[in-house]
Amino acid sequence: MKTEFAAVKNIENIYDVVTTNARFYIKNGDGKVLFGLKEKETVHTSNPGWVSVMLKVISIVFLLIFINLAAYEVVKKRGWIWGFLLLTGPVLLLRYISYKVSFPFDYRSLELFDASIYASNRLHPSLGDLLVNMILLFWLISFFKFSAINHLQGVRNTTGKRGWMIIGALSVLTIILAFTLAGVIRSLIIDSKIPFDVVNFFSLNIYTVISFIILCLIILSFFHLSHFLLLFMHKVSDVPKYIKYVVVTICGLLYLTINVNDPTSISNLIVLCWLLIYMFFTAANSVFKYLFSKK
């Protein structure tokens, strides 16, 4: 089934779907009005060419590279906090502007940003928005990790009541992180018309490839963020090692109990089990110990 009229392509650029004050009304077999069509006051009938799109995307990439290099210089001179703020501020501002206006071009006219392919919420109204958000998230997390790692390695171990509070807070953040990213993956499958049947190879399309790229970015983002959370758990020296697994389990089960009627509870329970296994193998991994041990 096609998502456009055969007679007039891009008719959505000419008419709005309304319920009142319509020029034309669409009725069902019983004569009941379903919706109406009203001609837009401002009509956008032209789509940007691929050459124009590529040039504008390249210009944005060079702008972001410049911001990244400037932030890196600030890290070397004034510390990772100021550098990360310098990077995060302009990136979030540009992304906010792109939600409000067609910046840097009318990207909503591209099929990648078509809500009929994928739409989840106001943050991710299309597959293109999800891709852009995941790229930016992974970029910011990677910059934060590799600019702050030397400083965080030198953080002193925590003991006593403060250590228990840190374990509890980090356990909650770990659960939120895992369940949130799992929800994005779940939404990518449920709220889209993207084929994921890898057995039927010829049913796959370019959006399947883009979805797998998004999945990789989600996994890598979780990997880097979880390292920081596990790092500070590891810095609590006087709490038995098994306690962090117990606290994470309690936090996860408490969340599942509160949302027991949520249809995602079963999948989140599986995510919780996977998270505990991940934490165990990450803590036992020699690479993890090398990254987060004080030199």
In Å, what is the CA distance from 10 to each residue of 3, 38, 96?
Answer: 10, 15, 27
The residues pairing with 24 across neighbouring beta strands, listed in sequence order, are: 37
Is 140 domain-assigned? no
What pTM was computed for the model?
0.76
Note whether residue 105 is domain-resident. Answer: no
Domain match, 284 and 166 both: yes
Domain ranges, residue 222? 154-292
Terminal C-alpha separation, the chain? 60
Beta strands in 9-142 (DSSP E): 15-18, 24-27, 33-39
Of 12, 28, 45, at which residue does a domain stop? 45
User: Of 7, 12, 4, nearest to 39 (Cα)?
Assistant: 12
pLDDT of residue 134: 94
Task: Tell me, yes or no, whether 34 and 159 share the same domain.
Answer: no
DSSP class per residue in 226-260: HHHHHHHHHTB-SS-HHHHHHHHHHHHHHHHHHTT
Domain for residue 135, yes or no?
no
Distances (CA, A) of 147 to 11, 105, 144, 212: 49, 32, 5, 28
Q: Is residue 188 assigned to a domain?
A: yes
Task: Note the pLDDT of residue 1.
Answer: 46
Helix (H) or strand (E) holding 269: helix 265-284
For residue 197, what is the DSSP state? -
In three-state secondary structure terms, 57 is helix
Look at residue 91 and tell me if it is in a domain. no
Under 8 Å between Cβ of 225 and 283: no
Q: What letter would DSSP give residue 9?
A: T
Position 265 in a domain: yes
Low-confidence ranges of the chain (pLDDT < 70): 1-16, 40-49, 285-295
Considering its fold, how many domains does the chain have in total? 2
User: Is there a domain that residue 67 lies in?
Assistant: no
d(CA 190, CA 168): 32
Q: Is 275 exposed, middle or buried (0-12, 13-18, 19+ CB in 10 A)?
A: buried
Q: Side chain identity at 266, as an amino acid letter?
A: I
Answer for the pair 91, 70: CB distance below 8 angstroms, yes or no.
Answer: no
Contacts 24+ apart (CB under 8 A), 147-155: 147/72, 147/75, 147/80, 147/83, 147/84, 148/80, 148/84, 149/291, 151/79, 151/80, 152/228, 152/231, 152/292, 153/291, 153/292, 153/293, 153/294, 153/295, 154/294, 155/232, 155/235
Whether 172 maps to a domain, the answer reads yes
Could you report the per-residue pLDDT of 158-195, keeping only the tens digit for each? 777 888 888 889 899 999 999 999 999 998 888 888 88
pLDDT of residue 198: 76
